[in-house]
Structure 1
Amino acid sequence: MGQRKKIGFSIFPGWKEIKREQLDIIKIARNYGYSEIFFGIGPGTHWKTSVEEAIILAKDFLEEAKDYYTFVDINPDILKRVNASPKDLSKFINMGFKAVRADYGFSKEEIVEMSKQMVVELNPFEITEAELEFIMNNADLERIKAIHNYYPVFYTGISKEIFEEKNKLLKKWGIEIGAFISHPLYNLRTTLEMLRFVQPFDSANYLSHFVDRVLIGDPTPKEEWLKDVSIAFKSNKVRIKLYDERFKEFLKSKFYLYEEKEYAIVCKSKERIENNLKCHTKIFKNAVTLLNNDIYIFKKDLGVGPFTLIGEIDDLNIEILKMKKEFEFLT
C-alpha cells in the first residue's frame, strides 16, 4: 500500500443518451488529478446496447482518454462477442485500453495467460487464496492489480468486515487495490453498502484509508463531487457541522487524537484559542464541544457538563478521525 493514491471514475459507452456528458467528464476530471477510468461495456440498468456496439462506441472515449489508465470489465461472454480470448487480448490492446478487469468465469491459468499481454485487474470475490497464490507465482507481477465489484441493487453491497478480509489477502501479496463509491444522482454503484447514500467527499475520505484507488462508480458526477473526492485524497480533513462561527478559524488548526475516554474522544492542537465562554451544556451523542483548549467529541447521551457546544459530527467522520494521525476539521 505504499503506492501513490489514485482516483478515477466510470464510463459506460453503451449509455448513448449521456455520451456528451461522459466525454465532458474526461476533460473536467483531468484538472482535478483523476488518472483512472473504468469502462463497463455490458448491458446495464439504464441501457440495452449490445456488447458488440458498446465496444465500437468506446473508441470515441478512449481517443479522449489517452493519458488515463483505462481498463474494461470482461467475462467469457464479452470476450466471445468481441472475438477475443484469454490468449488473445489484442482487440483491447489495439483499441488503447491499458488493462482488463477479469470479472468472473476465468481460471487461474487464464488469468496468468492474460497477464502476459496486459495488466489484469482481479475481482477479489472470484479468487480463492490458493488461486491467488498460483497467479502471483506464475503471472507477470507488474501486471496484477485488483478492484472490488460495485453493487447497483440497494442493500446488496458488501460489509466492512468482508471488505477488510478480502483486502488483507490482497495486501499480503502487495497488490494495488481499488474500490467504488456512488454519488447522489444514482446512489447505485458502490462497493460498501454503508457508503451508498454518503456524500462523495466522506465516502472517498473513508475508503482512502483501506485502498490505493477510489473510483466513482456512477456515471456523470457533478464537477463539485469530482472536486470533493480530489480534496478528500489531498487533505487530512474531518467533516463536522459547526454551530458557532467564532470557532471556525481555530478548527482549521492541526489536531490529533489525544486519547479516547469512556464517554468522549479528546482531540488536541498546538494552537491556542481564547474561549471566555463559561457554559454548561447538555451532552448528546456526537456533540462536538470545547473544554479549555481541547475538543471533546461525545460518544453517548449524558447529563449537563462544563463544555462549550460548538457543533456535531456523524458516526462515519468519527471513524475517519480515528484513522488519521493528524487532521483539520472541515466545517
Structure 2
Amino acid sequence: MTKRRIGFSIFPGWKEIKDEQISLLKNARDLGFSEIFMGIGPGTHWRTPVNEALSVAKEILKEANKLDYYAFVDINPQILKELNASPRNLSMFMEIGFKGVRADYGFSKEEIVEMSKQMTVELNPFEISEEEVDFIARNANLERIKACHNYYPVLYSGISKEIFIEKNRIFKERGIEIGAFISNPKFNLRTTLEVLRYVEPFDSANYLFKFVDRVLIGDPIPDYESLRQVSEVFKSDITKIRIKVYDESVGKRLDKKFAVENYREFAIVCYTRDNIYEGETCYTKLFKNAVAVRGREVWIFTRDLGIGPYRLVGEIDDINMEIVKMSSEIMLISK
C-alpha cells in the first residue's frame, strides 16, 4: 500500500518572502510535512532570473535537507538552457540538494528515462500519453518515477474531477505515486481541481486524498492553521467529515465511527452501535445536505424532500457530501 505524504510549495524567486519560506520548514516538518515543490521559472516571479532563483533555492535546501525533506523542482527545456543543464546532465540540481525534478513540458520519453538515471522524475499527467508512460515504465527504474499534477492559478481554470480521475488511472494502474495541489485561504490560487479553489485546507486535503497519494499546498507561506488542518487529515486513520451542527446536545454524540450505506434513494445513511438519539420523534422539513438522526443512524439527505420523522441536527456542505459518498467508514465532527 502506498504511503500517504503531504507537502507545500516554495518559490525561491519570490525574495520578499524568503525568510518566511525558510521559517516554514521546521513548523511544517513537526506537523508531518515531508515534501517540497519548488518553482524557479519566470512564472513564479517575473523579476527574478532563473539562475538567481536557483541560488536562493540552494540556501533554502541547505535547511530543508537537514530536516530530511524530499524536494523537487519544476523544469522545462528553457530553464535547463538558461542554466546550461540538459536531460543528460542534471548535476547542478543534485549538487544543491534537490532529490527530484518535475518534467513540466517539452521533454521526450527518452529524455525522461535519461533523467531518471540521475534522480527522481515527476511526470506531468497533462504532458504525457499513456503509451509514453508505458515506455518509461519499461525502460526506467519505477522507484524513480512519480507523477505530479499542475496547479492552475487563474480563476475557473482548474481541471474537473472526471478528467482528474482519468489521468490518475494511467499512473495508478502502473503503481506510480501521484501528487496534486490544494490552495490556501491566503491566496486561493494554486489548486489542481477547480472545485477546491475556495475550500478550506482540511476539507480539500480530505477530498484530494480520495484520489492521490500526495497532497501539496500550492500557494506559498500557508499559515499555521492551514498546515495544522492538512496535518490532521494526513495523520487520521479514518475519514473525518465536518458538519455544521445546529443542536449541540445531539451533535456532541456524533463524534464516533460510522459505517456508510450508499444505496438509499434519498439519503446516505451512517450507522453506529449505540443509539445517538432516543427522544421523541420529530417531524421536520428535509432538504438537500440536511443531517438528521434516528436512533443509531445519521441520515444525510441528497435532495430536497417533504416533511419526515427525523431529528434535524445540522447540515453538510457539498464537498463533505462528496467525501461521504466516497467513504465506507467515517467520523463526524463539528465544523
TM-score, length-scaled by structure 1: 0.97
Deviates more, 1:237-246 or 1:44-53: 44-53
Q: Deviation per CA, 1:89-137, whole angstroms, max 9, x where unpaired?
A: 0000101100000000001110010000000000011111111111111
Residues 184 and 219, structure 2, Cα contact 8 Å, conserved in 1: yes
User: CA 1:328–1:277 in structure 2 vs 1: closer, same or farther (change >3 Å)?
Assistant: same
Structure 2, unaligned runs of 5 or more: none
Give the Cα–Cα distance (whole angstroms) in 2 for the partners of residues 310 and 277 of structure 1: 14
Residues 179 and 216, structure 2, Cα contact 8 Å, conserved in 1: yes
Give the Cα–Cα distance (whole angstroms) in 1 for the partners of residues 96 and 74 of structure 2: 14
Give the Cα–Cα distance (whole angstroms) in 2 for the partners of residues 130 and 44 of structure 1: 29
- Structure 2 residue aligned with 1:286: 289
- Structure 2 residue aligned with 1:273: 276
Matched residue SS, 2:175: coil
- Structure 2 residue aligned with 1:300: 303
- Structure 1 residue aligned with 2:69: 68
Residues 149 and 179, structure 1, Cα contact 8 Å, conserved in 2: yes
Residues 39 and 71, structure 1, Cα contact 8 Å, conserved in 2: yes
The yes-or-no answer on 1:241 pairing with 2:244 is: yes
Give the Cα–Cα distance (whole angstroms) in 1 for the partners of residues 305 and 162 of structure 2: 30
Provide the alpha-carbon RMSD of the alignment: 1.2
Runs of 4+ residues deviating >6 angstroms: none
Give the Cα–Cα distance (whole angstroms) in 2 for the partners of residues 208 and 87 of structure 1: 34
Q: Deviation per CA, 1:76-99, whole angstroms, max 9, x where unpaired?
A: 010111111000000001011000
Q: What letter corresponds to residue 63 of structure 1 in structure 2? A: K
- Structure 2 residue aligned with 1:41: 40
Deviates more, 1:253-262 or 1:161-170: 253-262
Equivalent pairs, count = 330
Give the Cα–Cα distance (whole angstroms) in 2 for the partners of residues 178 and 264 of structure 1: 32
Residues 250 and 277, structure 2, Cα contact 8 Å, conserved in 1: no
Give the Cα–Cα distance (whole angstroms) in 2 for the partners of residues 122 and 47 of structure 1: 25
Report the CA distance between 1:293 and its aligned residue. Answer: 2.1
Q: What letter corresponds to residue 75 of structure 1 in structure 2? A: N
Give the Cα–Cα distance (whole angstroms) in 2 for the partners of residues 204 and 131 of structure 1: 29
User: CA 1:170–1:259 in structure 2 vs 1: closer, same or farther (change >3 Å)?
Assistant: closer
Residues 254 and 270, structure 1, Cα contact 8 Å, conserved in 2: no
Q: Percent identity?
A: 63
Give the Cα–Cα distance (whole angstroms) in 2 for the partners of residues 55 and 172 of structure 1: 35
- Structure 1 residue aligned with 2:267: 264
Matched residue SS, 2:220: coil
Matched residue SS, 1:260: coil
User: CA 1:57–1:314 in structure 2 vs 1: closer, same or farther (change >3 Å)?
Assistant: same
The yes-or-no answer on 1:317 pairing with 2:335 is: no
Report the CA distance between 1:184 and its aligned residue. Answer: 1.1
Give the Cα–Cα distance (whole angstroms) in 2 for the partners of residues 238 and 93 of structure 1: 41
Structure 1, unaligned runs of 5 or more: none
Give the Cα–Cα distance (whole angstroms) in 1 for the partners of residues 262 and 74 of structure 2: 45
Q: Deviation per CA, 1:216-272, whole angstroms, max 9, x where unpaired?
A: 000010101101011112222011100111123321111011343111111101122
Residues 10 and 37, structure 1, Cα contact 8 Å, conserved in 2: yes
